[in-house]
């Protein structure tokens, strides 16, 4: 849902068009101070039209400015000032990003933060209340660390990265630049390593590796990423992880892969780049997933995927097209069974 109080200052259509590299059709001096969905537009707001299904709203909206695609052709009179851009959806997204960046430009270090004297703190940082930063940890320029977050010793946080409230980063973990780590994320907790003993007890295997998160990664709230037993658990550049994901020890996730909520990835699994993984997918340990693989929600990945770009579903997972055909038969199983029984009865009666 769009927050209708995003803009707290007034901006003219001319100023917005300049920021978006758009062309104005209407009053360049009209001012707006809020954002709105087109069907909820009101005086003083700016909206956008990207989906043709919403075209009818542009003729009735009370918004003063509407961002539209360059090729939009109105069928009747329009009251709002139009800003024509190549992609209205992306342009409106840019406005939201501008707001977010402005909102997040906090600087200063809370007097309630506990920072080791050996920590290295960059320029223009924000460190909120009750943040803890351990020995020999490096915090890059423009980093923002919100309240109650804990960063262990010998960690490194790259420039322009944001840690929201309550993030926990264990010792020796590395996070790149321009990352976003949402509230409650835990990075570097122990991998699940226990050796069974003769007396049916379990002996803990020390987890002495770390977690490396490369640049431009976003990690959703309450996701956990375990440190490696040896070496590193690695999240490559551009990865996007949803909320409530479990990434186990020594896992590697390739560049620009996106993973939806509640997915569980067992130890030493290697996921390729540019993969798309639905929610609640389960990965067995030590499997390898090829680049560009797409996996439907709730699938169970138990075997290596060697061919790039394939689509999988089911548990255990297999080719999506085959899954769909099999599911069509499964749905009609009772009818098929009944029909077979009838045929057998007819055969026996003969």
Catalytically annotated residues: 249
Local structure of 218: helix, strand or coil: strand
Contacts by 276-285 with C-beta closer than 8 Å and gap 24+?
279/242, 282/315, 285/248
Q: Report helix, strand or coil for 226.
A: strand
Given a contact cutoff of 8 angstroms between Cβ atoms, the answer to whether 82 and 100 are in contact is no
d(CA 254, CA 240): 10
Categorise residue 124: left if φ over 0, alpha if ψ from -120 to 50, beta otherwise.
Answer: left
Chain centroid offset of residue 282 CA: 18
Q: How many CB atoms lie within 10 A of CB 302?
A: 13
Question: Contact at 8 Å (CB) between 312 and 318?
Answer: yes
**Tokens for 264?**
């569980």
Sign of CA dihedral 115, 104, 158, 289: positive
CA angle 33, 36, 37 (to 5 degrees): 165
Contact between 175 and 161 under an 8 Å Cβ cutoff? The reply is yes
Please, are residues 46 and 66 in contact by the beta-carbon 8 Å criterion?
yes
Distance CA 278, CA 145 (A): 30
What phi and psi values does residue 133 have, to the nearest 5 degrees? -125, 125
Alpha-carbon 310 to chain mean position: 22
């Amino acid at each position: 849902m769009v927050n209708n109080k995003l803009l707290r200052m007034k901006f003219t259509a001319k100023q917005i068009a300049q920021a978006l590299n758009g062309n104005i059709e209407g009053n360049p001096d009209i001012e707006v101070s809020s954002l709105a969905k087109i069907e909820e537009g009101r005086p003083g707001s700016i909206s956008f039209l990207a989906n043709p299904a919403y075209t009818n709203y542009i003729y009735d909206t009370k918004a003063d400015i509407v961002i539209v695609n360059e090729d939009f052709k109105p069928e009747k009179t329009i009251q709002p000032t139009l800003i024509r851009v190549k992609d209205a959806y992306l342009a409106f997204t840019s406005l939201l990003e501008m707001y977010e960046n402005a909102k997040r430009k906090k600087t200063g270090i809370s007097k309630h933060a506990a920072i080791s004297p050996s920590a290295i703190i960059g320029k223009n940082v924000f460190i909120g209340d009750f943040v803890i930063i351990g020995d020999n940890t490096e915090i890059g320029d423009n980093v923002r660390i919100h309240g109650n977050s804990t960063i262990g010793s010998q960690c490194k946080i790259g420039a322009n990265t944001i840690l929201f409230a309550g993030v926990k980063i264990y010792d020796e973990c590395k996070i790149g630049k321009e990352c976003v780590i949402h509230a409650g994320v835990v990075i570097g907790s122990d991998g699940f390593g226990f050796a069974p003993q003769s007396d049916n007890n379990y002996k803990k295997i020390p987890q002495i590796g770390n977690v490396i998160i490369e640049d431009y990664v976003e990690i959703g709230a309450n996701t956990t990423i375990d440190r490696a037993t040896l070496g590193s658990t690695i999240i490559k550049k551009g990865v996007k992880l949803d909320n409530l994901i479990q990434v186990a020890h020594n896992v590697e996730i390739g560049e620009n892969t996106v993973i939806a909520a509640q997915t569980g990835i067992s130890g030493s699994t290697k996921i390729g780049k540019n993969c798309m993984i639905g929610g609640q997918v389960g990965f067995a340990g030590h499997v390898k997933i090829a680049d560009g693989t797409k996996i439907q929600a709730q699938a169970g990945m138990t075997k290596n995927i060697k061919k790039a770009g394939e689509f999988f579903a089911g548990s255990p997972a297999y080719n999506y097209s085959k899954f769909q055909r099999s599911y069509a038969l499964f749905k009609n199983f009772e009818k098929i069974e009944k029909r077979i029984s009838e045929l057998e009865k007819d055969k026996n009666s003969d």
